Amino acid sequence: MATLESSILVSPRKFKVCFLTLVSTSIKLYLAGQKTYTFCGTPEYIPPEIVSNSGHTIAADYWSLGILVFELLSKKTPFAGIYCLYFYHPKNMLLARADLEIYEGIMRGIHNVAFPQHRVTRKAESMIKALCRQEPSERLGYQKGGVDDIRKHRWFQVRIPFYSSFILKL
């Protein structure tokens, strides 16, 4: 049974530990410790190492997770700019210009993004910034603790008081 966290491929001659991951709309297969150079996916979710074509590992997926959390909380992606309003415009020039603006924002980094304070808590901002570090090896989830580092982040430790009191009343 394959999971998104890891898979083991077994062939008659040898077996290799691989990682099957989902980034936006593309499925990639990583051999443990190797980089891939595929450039595909939704522009807003692409990490800097893909934009710069320097090769990427599973750390690219942690970047995309950070962007997804940002979007779920703020209702927009962090690098969407003025030309993104014309994203579905029939002229390809505006579409290319919107993508270029997004890529420039990605290369500037998440630390240059203004987080909407009324929607994104400090704990959520902390996790998003840890997931979206420019250096892939520094990203939350790619270090020694792996995915457990993400699960143990303080943003996931938040208790919802009204939910707890609702359960007690039942």
Give me the CATH number covering residue 64.
Answer: 1.10.510.10
Domain-located, residue 2: no
Domain count, the chain: 1
Domain-located, residue 161: no
Mean pLDDT of the chain: 76
pLDDT tens, position by position, 90-110: 555 555 678 888 999 999 999
Residue 123 pLDDT: 94
Q: How confident is the model at residue 167 (pLDDT cuts 50, 70, 90)?
A: very low
Domain-located, residue 96: yes
Domain-located, residue 163: no
pLDDT tens, position by position, 107-164: 999 999 999 989 999 999 999 999 999 999 999 999 999 999 999 999 988 655 555 4
Domain-located, residue 168: no
Domain-located, residue 92: yes
Domain-located, residue 108: yes
Q: Can you tell me the distance from the alpha carbon of 167 to that of 96, in angstroms, rounded to the nearest whole number?
A: 50
State the pTM of this model.
Answer: 0.70
Radius of gyration over every alpha carbon of the chain, rounded to an integer in angstroms: 18
The answer, yes or no, to whether residue 28 has pLDDT greater than 70, is: no
For residue 149 the two structure tokens come to 């580092």
Alpha helices in 7-160 (DSSP H): 48-51, 59-74, 92-108, 122-131, 147-151
Return phi, psi of residue 158, to 5°: -65, 135
